[in-house]
Structures are given as structure tokens and as C-alpha cells.
Structure 1
Amino acid sequence: MAAGLGAWQLAWLAAAVFVVSAGYGALMPLLPAWLTPLMAADGQAEVARHVGLLSGLYAAGVLIGAPLWGLVSDRWGRGRILVIGLVGYIASLLPLLWPDWIGLAGIYASRGATGFFVAAVVPVVPALVAEHTPQDRRARRFAWLGAMSLLGFLFGPGLNAGAAQVSAALASTGAGALDPTDLVIVMSAALGGLMMLGLAATLPRVAPAAPEDDTLPASADRKRALALWGLNGAVMFVLAGFELGIVLQGQQHPTLSSREISLMFAECSLVMLGVNALLFFTGLLERAAGRGVMAAGLVLAIAGLAMLAQHRSDAWMYVGVSFTAAGTGLVLPTISYLAAGASRRRLGATMGGLAAAAGFGQTLGSAAAGWLFGAVAQLSFAWLALPLLATLGTLIVRPAWWSPEDPLPRSPRVPSDPLPQRHPQER
């Protein structure tokens, strides 16, 4: 039985996920403000190009860092890697306070480093929670982590508004004018520092001993991990294309204002948050087979994309967004929950691969959707449903890939043998 996490330990871990998610949402809108003074002669088109490249570089940092940090955490310990990741996160933010000094190359290096060190938090927190949580409580805790990540993304843009108000309040008291952009950086770094201190003080010092029944052959464990990585990448590919498609609908439908597009994004986040709350309060993943939950989520998402491909009114578009968000909101936490059943010796690597697959799918989805919507416009939503249909087929055809139990027969114990039978790779 894994050593349980206390309420405060779990709160600090969830807060770390919240802070790095909020930092991404808060800092991304500031990129044009940093770049414009450095590229005043190049025009807005060049600034927009660099904003896109910087976003891609952050994603590349996560893509490279997640499997690396996950693998290292299996050997060095998860708590140590979490603290290292938060130290690197803070150190990568502070140079942005002096954009004129670090220049364009420094901004690129900073964003790439931020993604790389955030990747030490994203897979290691769920790995640590899985490692120290009894199985009957694991699903609720993973739903809680997913909700905190979504709340962080929603909170991030609000941090910019808060910084602007603080700056105005300081100026009105005669304390001097502080750039709101600098305040956002300082607040993001300060929150990261608080998380680092809290985790360093509260995390378990000793990893739990490996359970005696952790005898899943490495080949079966690896097969299941590869299947979950592929599913996570496919869903994130579709989700990225779906979100970009919402933005591009403004060009296809003149009646759709930027305010309505923003409302659809808020709707998407709130529906996914609601699904996470449902999973948390009902313990659905503990009561139902993960494969069935994922199948239901895929059907919902496919139905939503079909509505978006055929809609003729804004009302139906809102319905399609809700269905797609609800479906993906069911599938993603279920994938994480099933990945948490990996062998403890490979848990960090499994979670790291999951995060890397998500980043890879998101990057490809954004690029492919841009081309797809330029070619077939609204019907692109129907094309985006194809990866989900293919995944639904694998759930039906290959049920063993998604089972939390060992799909291969175990060697029976011989009563006279004083030692348990183990797989040759584990001797």
C-alpha cells in the first residue's frame, strides 16, 4: 500500500500545477509588448511571426523536457525533480524583466527554458500523486489535478488585469509608476517561489516501497504506455485543431463577433472544468471501466465536431462546442488515471511520455488545422473527427491495451517455492 499524501501535501502539489498553468496564460499575452520595442522597424506582421515561434519554442521545451524529467524522477526521486523544475521556472522568468538587455535571442532562450522546466512539474506531480495514493482514491485526485490546471489557465489572463490595477493603485499613492508587465513577471516568479518552498517543506522524504504484486512484465507495461501516449496525442491534436477552428469561424461567419468567440472559449474551459468536478464528486472512474468512459467521451466529442461541421446558426455552434469540450474533458483525465497504473519503476517515464505526446499532438494539430481550415473551411471539423473515430475503433478491437489489469497471464506460484515467481526482466 502506498504511503498516503496528507491534505496539505496534496494542496501544495495541486497549487504547483495551478501556478505553472497560470504563468503560461498570464505571460503569453505579454509577448507582443516585449517584442514591439525591439522590432519597431519590422512591423506588426513580423511581431506576430515571432509570437508564433515563441509559442512553438515553449511547446518544444515541454516536448523535450517532459520525458527526460519523468525518466530522471524514476531514478533520483520525484520531490527533488519538482523543486529543481520550480527553481528553473523562476530563473527563466526573471530575465524577462530586462528585455532590452537580453534582446530577442534572450527572450527566445527564456521561453524555451520556461517550457523545459515546466515539463519537470507537469508529469512529475501526477506521478508522485499516483505513487502515494491508494487506488480507491486515485481517480478523484487526478480529477482534482485536472481541475486545478484548467483553473490556472482561466486565472492567468486575470493576473494581467490584477497587475494593471495594482500598478494604477501604486501610481495614485505616489509610490511611482510600475510597468504592469513587470508586475506580472514578478508575481508569477513569486508564486513559483512560494510553491517551491511549500513543496520542499511538505513532500514525502521517502518513496513508498514497491508493492509485491508489481510484477507486470515490462513489455506489457510499455505496450499500454505507448497506447495511452498515442491516444493522448490524438485527442490533443483534435483539441488544438478544434480551438483554432473556433477562432477561424470569425472569418467564415461575419455575424460571429470576437466577444462570442471569447465566450465559446470560456464555455469550453468551464464545461471541461465541470466534467472534472463530476469525476471528482462521483468517483466515476473508480466505478466504471476506463475503456467505457473513454468510449463515451469520444462519442460525445465526435458528435460535437459533427454539429460544428454542419451548423447554420450560432446556437448550434455553442452546442457543438459543449459536446466536444465535454467529450475531451472525459477522455483526458481517464488517460491520466490509466497511466497512473503503470509500474512504479516506470511511472515517471510514463507520465513524461504522456505530457510529451500531448505537446506533440497540440503542435501538429495547430499546424494541420490552419492548413485544413484554409482548404475546406467549416467542414474541417468533420475531418478532425477522423482521429477520434480511429481511436474509438481501437477501444473496441484492442480492449487489453486499456485495461488497468495485467493483460498477460501470470506464472502461477508454486507452493513449495519460497520465492515468488518473477518475470525474467525483473530478476
Structure 2
Amino acid sequence: MKTHNKSLKVKTLLLAIGVCSAAMSHAKEADPEIEQLRNEINELRQLLNQQSQQQQQQAVQLQNYQTEKVQLSNKDNAVQRSGLTLTKGGAEMTFYGNVRADLQYQIEGGPASRIYNQISTVALDGVSENSDNLKSTLSATRLGFDFKTPTTAGDVGGKVEVDFLGGSSLDTLRIRHAYLTYGNWLIGQTWSNFAPPDFMPESIDALGFVGGAVKRTPQVRYTQKLNADTNFVYALEDSKDASSDMRLPAFTARANHKFSDSLLLSARGMVTEKRTKADEEAAWGVGVGVKYDVTPKTSIKADYYHVNGDSSFVSWTNQGFVTDANNQILETNEFDSITVGITQQFNEKLRGTLGYGYMKADNNDRYINALADKTKANKDLWQAWGNVFYSPVKPISLGVEYVFGEREAFGAAPNGSKTGEDNRVNAVAIYNF
């Protein structure tokens, strides 16, 4: 309103000046005072024109400012609706996680002190079995943060994710993932490049079952993308192998190729050094994973490993190598493992999985004879399981699972038993947020 009144006054003054100028222009002789007055009027006209232009520019700037303010307000509302916030350092942050309650009823076998899969150490028949035990925990409850900071050189990303599965007694905070990404590089802790869980059939057990691997390592990783369907991933990893005095990180490589929207293949390799105070030995491994969607609602996953000398990447294996009294490495353990499963999505709320896993160690007499306790090393392991997940509403998942497995040790217990059974029922309730 004020801008409009000022504009009206300026126009009126300009009109008056114009009338006076016209009248004076008709004078026959130009009096010096009249000529001076004419010059002053012209100068005043120029000043008024400049003021009018400035007012118009200010009006345009005000309108642009109001438009930008509305746009920023809409952007802020959109960010809040999407769950994004800004950190002190200016990064976009997304918070996520779940509350998870696990229940396990051990029908037969299984160590009393632990919940979740421990097939490699299940009690041998008739030897301190822990049967008919009910266990529960919320230790797999998870909290996570994703970060992204736009920079002139590209986005810098990161993740921090924790749960409470640290320590032998559980209920201890531990880091699952903590890393930063920039371009094709990743630095920090996340899934091992050699032993990712991508091709393990779904399970309620938080550790999965034999034949697969649940391994997170500190690493430096580089991803080379050839095209939309193929990439190579290279990493130097700290495998956290307590049995070895690590001097060099493990080198891992992985090739991923998508043949179609329904078929994905991953081939992997690993080489690392195993070292004692007196000796060292090379360990290596290869792996192949496949995911195939038979139909939009039916998918198959399979994962295979062959490893020599390492026990840190693939879960539930025997120790990677044995030593003599002088810390000389006598022999290494070599094994094959496989897991395969099929998942069916029955409807939007119900899905189920059937799976099987198997691991077989090489029958190496020199390795076996060097073992201090042959009942703690396994000739083979297997597990079969079936589960059903039901989601009554989107953020809630309820599941029940039955698993039966067996281990066969290289040595017999005092009662002559070489086998132990893992027979149990798992249940879970998860609220994702």
C-alpha cells in the first residue's frame, strides 16, 4: 500500500513539472532566471525517474524474496516429511532402526549360555546336553543413521549402525556398520567383500544357518563399475582373526553381474596371510552366490564357498590351522560349504522360506591328529529350516521358525558319541521404524 501511494505522488509531481515546462517553453525570450529554473526542473525530473526505477527494483526484489522464502519453506516441510534432518556439520541425516524381541525354545542340544545359531558347538548326544530350555532376548534391536553431505566435489556419505549383540553375555552395545563413502571409495566397517549375506536364504535366527556367512570387517573398498549390469569390487580387509598375528590385511575381490532383472550372480575371491610368532602360511578362498526370481513372488538363493586355511570369514568352520609346540604351522583346514533356499511371497502380508545348509571339512589326517580336542572339530555340519513371516501392518513383522541340524565331530566323546543335534523353534516380533 505504501509503495502504491509513493508512486502516485511521484506521477503527480512529474505531471506538474511537465505543465510548468510547457508553459515556460512558450516564453519569447529566455530570462536567465527562467533558464536556471528550467535546468533545475530537468535535474529534479531525472532524480525522480531514478527514484521511481529504484522503487520498482525494490518491489521486484521483495517479490523474489517472498517467492524464495515460500520455496525454502516447502523444501523444509518436504525434508521433515521424508525423515531427513540436518546435522551440525550440515549433513542430511536419516534415522532408522527396529525394536526386536527374539524367543527360542531349545528342544534338544545347544549351549545354555547363548541364543541364536551355534551349530558348530552343539552338545554331543548324552554329553551335557541343554534340552528343553526357553531363552529370550532383545539384543538384536538395532539403531542406525545414514548421512549425506553435498560438496563441490560430489556427495560424501556415511552410515553408523549399532545393536546390542556385543560380548558373550549379549545386551552390550556394538558397532555393526560405521563407514564413509566418497565417489567409488568406502572406508570403515561393513559387510565383508568376500562373505556378504546377500545370498543367504532368509532366517529368523539373527546369525543365519550353516553354509552362509555373517561377517563385517574394517576395510578400504573400491568399486569399479563397468556398466549398468556389471561391477568389480576390491577391498583390503582386517578379518579380525584371533588365531593369527596379522601383519597384512586380507585382499578380497568380487565380480557382480546382473544377467536380467530376475538373475544375479556374484563370484568372489580371497587371499590372506596366517602368521604365528615362528611361521606363516597363505590362506585363500573362493565363493559363488546366485539369486534367481522364478516368478515375481518366488525367489531362490544359493551360496557356495571353498576355503583353505581360514576360519574368520565363513561362519561355523573349524580353526583355520594347527601348530606344534614351537608355533610352527603343521597343517590347514580345508572345507566346502553351501546354502540354498526358496522364499515364497504368498500375499502382501505373508511369506515363507525353506532352506538347507551343509559344510564338509577335508578329511586331513595330519590336521586331525594335531587337534588337542577332536570332539570340538567337525567333520561335517548340516541344518534345515522353515519359517513364516506375517505382517499385519507395514511396520510390524511376526515370525516363527523350526530348525533341525546335526554336527559330526572328528573324535568321539567318552560315551562314544560323535554327533550332536540342534532341534529348536525360533520366534520373533519386529517393529521397524
Is the pair's TM-score, using the shorter chain for normalization, greater than 0.5?
no
Bigger RCO of structures 1 and 2 (CA < 8 A, at least 6 apart)? 1
Under a length normalisation based on structure 2, what TM-score does the superposition of the two structures give? 0.22
Under a length normalisation based on structure 1, what TM-score does the superposition of the two structures give? 0.22
More helix by share: 1
More strand by share: 2
